[in-house]
Structure 1
Amino acid sequence: MSMVKKLLEPIPIPPVVRIRQKFDSSHIKDIPAKMKQELTTPGTLDRIREGQRVAVAVGSRGINNLAIMTRALLDEIKAVGAHPFIVPCMGSHGGATAEGQLEILKQLGITEAAMDTPILASMEVVELDRLDNGVAVYVDKYALEADAIVVINRIKPHTAFRGPYESGLLKMIAIGLGKQKGAEAIHQLGFKHMADNMPAAARCMIRKLPILFGVAIVENAYDQTYRIEAIPTEQIEQREIGLLVEAKERLPKFLMPEFDVLVIDYIGKNISGDGMDPNVTGRFPTPYAYGGPEVTKIVALDLTKESKGNAAGIGLSDFTTRLLVEKMNADATYANGLTSTVCLPCNISTTLDNDFYAIKAAVKTCNILDYNQCRLVRIRDTLHLGEIEISLSMLEEARSHSDIELLSDPYSFIFDENGNLSKK
Structure 2
Amino acid sequence: MRERPFIADLVKGVTVPKMFRVRQIFPRPKIEPKDIPGVIEKLLSEEKFSSQIKPGMRIAITAGSRGIANNALTTKCIADFVKSRGGEPFVVPAMGSHGGSTAEGQRAVLEGYGITEEYLQCPILSSMEVKKIGVNEEGGDVYIDKYAAEADGIIIGCRIKPHTAFRGPYESGIMKMMAIGLGKQYGAEACHEAGFKNMAKNVPLFGKAVIKYAPVLFAVPTIENAYDETCKIAAVNADEIEEKEPDLLKEAASYMAKILVDSCDVLIVDEIGKNYSGDGMDPNITGTFCTPYATGGIDAQRVVVLDLSEETHGNGIGLGYASATTKRVFEKLDLASMYPNAITCTVLGGVRIPIIMESDKEAIQVCIKTCNEIDKTRPRVVRIPNSLHLEHIMLSEDYLEEIKGIPNIEIESEPMELPFDEDGMLW
2:205 partner amino acid: A
Q: How far apart are the structure 2 equivalents of 1:326 and 1:50? A: 51
Q: Tell me the CA shift for residue 353 of structure 1.
A: 1.2
| CA distance in 1: counterparts of 2:9 and 2:303, whole angstroms | 22
Q: Which moved more, 1:268-277 or 1:4-13?
A: 4-13
TM-score (structure 2 length as normaliser) = 0.96
The two structures, once aligned, show a CA RMSD in angstroms of 1.3
Contact 2:65–2:98 (CA under 8 A) maintained in structure 1? no
Provide the residue aligned with 2:22 in structure 1: 19
C-alpha distance in structure 2 between counterparts of 1:41 and 1:350, whole Å: 55
The answer to whether structure 1 residue 219 and structure 2 residue 204 are counterparts is: no
Contact 1:303 1:324 in 2 (8 A): yes
- Judged with a 3 Å threshold, the aligned counterparts in structure 2 of structure 1 residues 295 and 369 are, in CA distance, closer, same or farther, namely closer
The AA in structure 2 aligned to 1:99 is E
- Matched AA of 2:315: N
Per-residue deviation at 1:271? 1.0
Alignment of 1:324-335 (within 5 A): 324-335=329-340
User: Which residue is 1:417 aligned to?
Assistant: 422
| 2:388 is the alignment partner of 1:383 | yes
Matches within 5 A, 1:366-381: 366-381=371-386
1:57-96 matched pairs, under 5 angstroms = 57-96=62-101
Report the 3-state secondary structure (helix = DSSP H, G, I; strand = E; otherwise coil) of the residue aligned with 1:371.
Answer: coil
Shift of 1:73: 1.1
* Match of residue 404 from structure 2: 399
| Residue number among 25, 28, 31 corresponding to 1:28 in the alignment | 31
Note if 1:99 corresponds to 2:72: no
Asked if 1:254 is matched to 2:259, the reply is yes
Matches within 5 A, 1:12-411: 12-29=15-32, 30-131=35-136, 133=138, 135-411=140-416
SS at match of 2:306: strand
What displacement does 1:51 show?
Answer: 1.3
C-alpha separation in 1, matches of 2:108 and 2:367: 35
State the shift of 1:41 in Å.
Answer: 3.5
Query: AA paired with 1:27?
Result: K
1:282–1:191 CA distance, 2 compared to 1 (3 A): same
Q: 1:3 Cα deviation (Å)?
A: 4.2
- CA shift, 1:26, in A, is 1.4
In 2 relative to 1, CA 305–109 (structure 1 residues): closer, same or farther, beyond 3 Å?
same
CA distance in 1: counterparts of 2:48 and 2:421, whole angstroms: 58
Q: Deviations over 1:48-100 (max 9, x none)?
A: 11211101111231101111111111111111111111111111111011111
Secondary structure at 1:373 match in 2: coil
Cα distance in 2, alignment partners of residues 288 and 402 from structure 1: 30
1:135 and 1:186 in contact (8 A); partners too: no
Amino acid at match of 2:228: D
Contact 2:22–2:412, Cα closer than 8 Å, also in 1 = yes
Structure 2, unmatched stretches of 5+, are: none
Aligned 8 A contact 1:136 1:186 in 2: no
5+ long unaligned stretches in structure 1: none
Size of the alignment, in residue pairs? 422
Tell me, yes or no, if the aligned pair for 1:60 and 1:153 is still in contact at 8 Å: no
Q: How much has 1:415 moved relative to structure 2?
A: 1.2
Aligned-partner residue type, residue 284 of structure 2:
N
Aligned residue identity for 2:372: N
The CA distance in 2 between the partners of 1:417 and 1:215, in whole Å, is 50
Q: Is the 8 A contact 2:137 2:209 kept in 1?
A: no
Q: Which residue of 1 is the match for residue 7 of structure 2?
A: 4
Shift of 1:131: 3.5
SS in 2 for 1:43: helix
CA–CA separation in structure 2 for the residues paired with 1:322 and 1:133: 47
* Cα shift at 1:2: 4.2
Any idea what the Cα deviations from partners look like across 1:189-247, whole Å, max 9, x if unmatched?
11111111111101111100110100111100000001000110111111110111111
Q: Does structure 1 retain, via aligned residues, the 8 Å contact 2:65–2:109?
A: no
Separation in 2 of the partners of 1:121 and 1:313? 26
1:93/1:336 contact within 8 Å kept: yes
SS at match of 1:38: helix
Give the Å deviation of 1:416: 1.9
Give 1:186 shift. 1.4
The one-letter code matched in structure 2 to 1:39 is L
Partners in 1 of 2:277 and 2:177 — Cα distance?
15
In 2, distance between residues paired with 1:372 and 1:26?
41
How far apart are residue 342 of structure 1 and its match? Answer: 0.5
Partners of 2:138 and 2:214 lie apart in 1 by 21
Q: Is the 8 A contact 1:316 1:344 kept in 2?
A: yes
The 1-side partners of 2:52 and 2:98 are apart by 31
CA–CA distance in structure 2, aligned partners of residues 171 and 136 of structure 1 = 16
The Cα shift of 1:42 comes to 4.2
